[in-house]
Structures are given as structure tokens and as C-alpha cells.
Amino acid sequence: MTEQRIINDKKRSVFLIGLTNSRTNIDYELEELANLAKANNLIPQEIFSQKLERPNPATYFGKGKVEELAELSKTYDVDMIIANDELSPSQIRNLEKLTNTTVLDRTGLILDIFAQRAQTKTAKLQVQLARLQYQLPRLRTSMSISLDQQTGAGGGGFTSRGSGETKLEESRRRITSQMVHIRQELAELSKGDNTRALRRQTNNLASVALVGYTNAGKSTLMNRLLNRFGIGSETSSTKQVFEKDMLFATLNTTVRQLTLPDKKQFLLSDTVGFVSKLPHNLVAAFKSTLQEASQADLLLQVVDISDEHYKEMMATTEQTLSEIGVTDIPMITIYNKADKAELNYPDISGENTITLSAYDEASQDALIELIKKQIFNDTEIVNLHIPFDKGDVQAKLAANHTFIEENYDTSGTLLTIELSKLERELFKKYIL
């Protein structure tokens, strides 16, 4: 029998199915699957689980459970079933035939969400590539019908139906050709991204990247910091990132420059959120989007401490970072949403852990201090003598630093200032 019933007649209803065994936390996974469905404007009508150590190779569920699915699909007029795991083409075909429904797996659902949320050209191409790779062995299933020639570029997906849909028998050769073309386009776009990244590095600004589970509060935290420390924050003209309480609210990597009250500066980037069982094709496709994390000087892992499954979410984040090659980068763990969890905040535990609420200014200040200790840890206080005819040097220092002390002698300005190792090398001829 079913384990849960959620009723809403206004949107398209779906059944969710999943297997429980000694290796899975089925309650957590099905709860997440339900949230993914809701993020794609679907309503989980019934949730089914079955205890099996391994999926039935032909139908995923056992025979009796499939018959129950078929009967209840008719009873509740449900025409879509979403599986918690990635299904083989034959499993999809057999389930569709036996239940007379469209069968979508977890991978297809995530790809569909990404296709509808992608905004930038790079993100759209990356999603198209991942969807084509996924579609190629599944041309004989109903999911392939909903893919248009641009594979989701128009916002449609597996869970929608419209006049722009292609026929079931879209040719394998055409898909292969599209994949080659997309890879070429992504390679060209990547050159531009690398050029911009190199330009930022030559500006001697440290890079800090927000990473973590989707909906953990990364965009919210970034926006709160931008409000206070972003360029134009005093006039509310800072470019904000999109934030909403739902999975995968934003897929774009956004980079902004922060200037602190002491004039220290660094770059802060907000990256796409992670989720358990993130499709491998999608992880591979989004490697270029996540390059900000791979090239960062410091990672900020944002964790929703109010979620009872936060430990599993942290494990997923660390696994995904490893998959995209992000290793050996210093990390601060941020336990966010402490207000919802009714925990004391801000609370700093050691050099690399803080519990906070993204909306709380005291929390933001405490986090900034932790960040400064990490990325400005090679600074030293030095004394400089800047000749009067080197006013451009003094102006450059004044633009990026707060002088600890400023005096004058007959030939120039005496400054006491905090400089990084690189800056000490740049200005070494003025150091006393």
C-alpha cells in the first residue's frame, strides 16, 4: 500500500516510487524527490516504496507493486510516475507499457528542472548537452517525445506537452551532431571565461566561492553581504542574485566584488547548488560553470542546519566537489538558518566553523572576520616612505587600504600600513 498521500487538484499529479534497502535512507531520498517534483510544478499524489536489495531488471519494482501502480494510476487519473533512481531504457519502456503512464526517473526530472531554469547561454548549452547524452539510449521511450530540436532551450521539458515537441523517432545521428556542435560552442565560451578569470587573478583579488546543497541559503547570504559591502551598496544599486525558497532557484555562477570597511577587497561567487544523486552527465557538463569553486582561494560550504538531513547534505556536497576536481582548497563550514533551528548565533567553533543566520548583521560580521583570517593571512604591518613626487603610488595604496598611521617628513609621506606578501614585493623599494 501507499505510504503517503498529498492531494492537490490544481496541478498535474504524479506518483513517486523508490526502493528501500540496507544502503539507502529512503525517507530522506523520497522527501527530496517530492521537493524536486514540486520545484518542477508537479504535485506528488502518492508515494510508494518497496523493500528490495536491488531493482527488478525489467520493471524496477516487483510484479505485484507494478500491478498496484497500474490500478491506482487509473483510480486517481495519474499519467506520470517518477522513480527515485536512474532507470534503464528497458525499465522505462516496460513500466510505461504496464502502467499506461509516462515514466520519468530522478535524472530526467533534474535535467528537466535545469533546462527550465538555465538563463545564460553557457548554462543552456551545458543542460542541452547533458539532456542529449541522457536521451540518446532512450529514444524509444515517451520521454524523448518532449525534447524539441534545441533540447530544452525553449523552456519545455519532459513534464510538459506542446506543439513544439519533436516526434518519437528523432534520429541518433542528429543528436550526435548536436552534441558535437554544442561541445564546440562550449569550448569557445570557455576561452572567454578563462580570460575573465585570469584578468581577476592579475588584479590581485582573492576569490571566495559559496558552495553547498541547493536551497541551503547561499544566494541569500550573498545578497546580504552585497547589500553591505558590494559596489553600489550605499545606493542599493548592487546587482543581486536571484533567491527563492525552492530547489535550484538559480543555476548561474555569479561573481561580485566586496569592499570591506578597512578597504580590503575580495571576489565572492555564488555557484549552482548540489543535490543527492546529481546526474553524472550534468556534473560533467557543469564543470566549467563551477570553475569559480575550483579556482577559489577559499570555499564557504553553506549548510541548512535546520534540516534534519544536513549531514547527508554535507556528504553530498563533499562528494560532488570531489567529482568536479575541487580538492585541497581551504573551507569554512557555515551552519546557516540557526534562527529556524533555534540555535544561538553567531557562534564560532574554531577557525573554520560558524553557526549563523544569513539575515543577521552580527553573523555577517563574524563570518567576514573568519574570511579575512583565511584569505589575508599573509599580511604584515610595514612602514613605507613615499616621496612627494610619487603621489600616484600613495593614491593607489589609499584606494585599497586604510592607513594605520600617516605622517610626513621633508621629502615624503610616512605610512604605516598592512600589506600582503605580493604587495610587499610590489612596494618593496618604499619599505623602511
Predicted confidence (pLDDT) per residue in 293-350, tens digit: 778 889 999 999 999 989 988 998 888 888 777 888 899 999 999 999 999 999 998 8
> pLDDT > 90: what percent of the chain?
38
Which residue ranges does the chain devote to CATH 3.40.50.11060?
1-188
Q: Is 193 helix (H, G, I), strand (E, B) or coil?
A: helix
Q: What is the DSSP string of 53-99?
A: SS-BTTTBS-HHHHHHHHHHHHHTT--EEEESSPPPHHHHHHHHHHH
Q: Where in the chain is the domain with CATH 3.40.50.300?
A: 203-375
How far apart are alpha carbons 149 and 215 in whole angstroms? 31
- Flag whether pLDDT at 147 surpasses 70: no
Distances (CA, A) of 3 to 17, 34, 109: 10, 13, 22
pLDDT higher than threshold 90 for residue 354: yes
Who wins on pLDDT, 357 or 316? 357
Average pLDDT over residues 79-104: 93
Q: Which comes out higher in pLDDT, residue 238 or 102?
A: 102
State mean pLDDT over 219-241: 74
C-alpha distances (whole Å) from 190 to each of 59, 283, 287, 288, 296 are: 41, 16, 10, 7, 17
Position 283 scores a pLDDT of 74
Partners of 51 in the β-ladder: 20
Closest alpha carbon to 336 in 363, 316, 317: 363
**Amino acid identity of 51?**
K
**Residues paired with 96 in a beta bridge:** none
Classify residue 178 by burial, with Cβ atoms within 10 Å: 0-12, 13-18, 19+. Answer: middle
CB proximity list for 253: less than 8 A, separation 6 or greater: 269, 270, 271, 272, 289, 290, 291, 292
Q: What is the mean pLDDT of the chain?
A: 82
Question: What mean pLDDT comes out for the span 211-224?
Answer: 89
Confidence of residue 162 (pLDDT cuts 50, 70, 90): very low
- Cell 566586496 belongs to 258
Question: How far is CA 335 from each of CA 227, 296, 300, 331, 357, rounded to the nearest angstrom?
Answer: 21, 20, 10, 13, 8
pTM score: 0.76
Is the confidence at residue 263, as pLDDT, over 60?
Answer: yes
Confidence bin at 7 (pLDDT 50/70/90): very low
302 near 216, Cβ under 8 Å?
Answer: yes
User: Whole-angstrom Cα distance, residue 339 to residue 343?
Assistant: 6
Query: Which helix (H) or strand (E) element contains residue 173?
Result: helix 172-202
Question: What are φ and ψ of residue 50, in 5° steps?
Answer: -140, 140
pLDDT class of 402 with cuts at 50, 70, 90: confident
For residue 185, what is its C-alpha cell?
A: 560552442
Does the structure show a pLDDT above 50 at 2? Answer: no
Q: What is the three-class DSSP state of 337?
A: coil
Most confident of 143-152, 248-257, 345-354: 345-354
Half-sphere exposure of 163 (CA within 13 A, CB side): 0
Residues 254, 257: Cα–Cα separation, whole Å: 10
Query: Given the DSSP bridges, would you call strands 265-270 and 206-212 parallel, antiparallel or unpaired?
Result: parallel
Residue 200 has pLDDT above 80, yes or no: no
Kindly report the CATH number that applies to the domain delimited by 1-188: 3.40.50.11060
Give yes or no for residue 18 having a pLDDT over 70.
yes
Give me the pLDDT at residue 113, please. Answer: 84
- pLDDT for the residue numbered 341: 94
Place of cell 492531494: 7
Identify whether the C-beta of residue 247 lies closer than 8 Å to the C-beta of residue 274. no
Mean pLDDT in residue range 2-14: 56
Query: What CATH number is given for 203-375 in this structure?
Result: 3.40.50.300
Q: Please report which confidence band the pLDDT of residue 356 belongs to, taking 50, 70 and 90 as the band edges.
A: very high
State the angle between helix axes of 218-229 and 361-375 in degrees (0 to 180), rounded to the nearest 10. Answer: 90
pLDDT of 232: 58
Supply the DSSP string of 343-386, one letter for each residue.
Answer: --SSEE-SSSEEE--TT-HHHHHHHHHHHHHHHTTT-EEEEEEE
